[in-house]
Amino acid sequence: MTPDQIERYKRHFLVKEIGGPGQQKLLNSHVMIVGAGALGGVAARILTATGIGRITVFDKDRVELSNLQRQTQFSKRDVGDTKVGALFRSLSTLNADTQIDAVQDRWTSETGLPEVDLILDGSDNFETRFALNAASRAEGIPLISGAVAGWTGQVLAVNDPSEASCPCYQCFVPAEPPDAGNCKDLGVVGAITHLVASHQALLATRYLIGEQKNLFGRLTIMDGLGGAFRTVKLPQDPSCPVCNP
């Protein structure tokens, strides 16, 4: 590592489970993020600061004024620009150690998966969530899913490539809920989106340094209004068409 890197990451070196070897693993990692908004964009900033070597991010949308209530990676001057373009500028000035591949397109199953170590889902619709889960399972690349609505948030890590009995996202959500709306239709509290994005980035960091105990198959539910946070273990669904065909 360069003297700049030793200075930049010194607080990581002091953490027993990370240290120099862990930081090197992070610098050698490639993470794919779907969505550059409240979850994906915020997680991308944390992971760039963390020193992930390469991040590929997909998003088709442009920055709107109503995004700024929670998407703190953007500024007023970014309104009207593409989200991936504005995010690229934001991340490039944060840490040159991270190579950013910004794709201004919606990720679909036709897009396929690049060669990555891990996927973060920050999308706002079930079609993308299901397609991403199926691709993650098929390719053996783990997935960290995040979702927010109102005061509540959820984070779930699935598709452990080393454990066939690990549940997938569709074990947890078998089909699109009938009352599902996407983020555009639902209210959401700015601060809860950062809790979810931070938790996704935390689980990503743990996975990439090899601290995987109690990581997969656990759903964390954050009730921001009631003040209750809890984590429950999810079983694999024996009738799941994705992970148990």
Question: Rounded to the nearest whole angstrom, what is the least distance from the CB of residue 113 to Zn ion in the complex?
Answer: 18
* Shortest distance in whole angstroms from residue 147 CB to Zn ion: 17
**In the 8-state DSSP scheme, what is residue 81?**
S
Least Å distance between CB 14 and Zn ion?
39
- Spatial separation of the C-alpha atoms in residues 95 and 132, rounded to whole Å: 28
Choose, by CB under 5 A, the member of 57, 135, 168, 208 that binds Zn ion: 168
Which segment (160-168, 174-182, 203-211, 213-221) binds Zn ion by CB under 5 A?
A: 160-168
Residues 25-54 as x/- pattern, contact with Zn ion by CB under 5 A: ------------------------------
State the Cα–Cα distance between residues 45 and 210, nearest whole angstrom.
21
Query: Counting contacts by CB under 5 A, is residue 157 touching Zn ion?
Result: no
User: Residue 102: CB partners within 8 Å, gap ≥ 6?
Assistant: 36, 57, 84, 85, 87, 88
Please give the structure tokens belonging to residue 51. Answer: 């020193």
Nearer to Zn ion, 52 or 242 (CB): 242
Q: Are strands 54-58 and 118-121 parallel, antiparallel or unpaired?
A: unpaired
* Least distance CB 216 / Zn ion (angstroms): 12
Burial annotation 194-222 (CB, 10 A radius, 16+ → b, else e): bbbbbbbbebbbbbbbeebeeebbbbbeb
Find the part of the chain contacting Zn ion (CB under 5 A) among 59-67, 96-104, 106-114, 237-245: 237-245
Query: 3-class DSSP state for residue 154?
Result: strand
Which of 33, 157, 171, 196 binds Zn ion (CB under 5 A)? It is 171
CB 186 → Zn ion: shortest distance, Å? 26
Contact region with Zn ion (CB under 5 A), list: 25-33, 59-67, 222-230, 236-244: 236-244
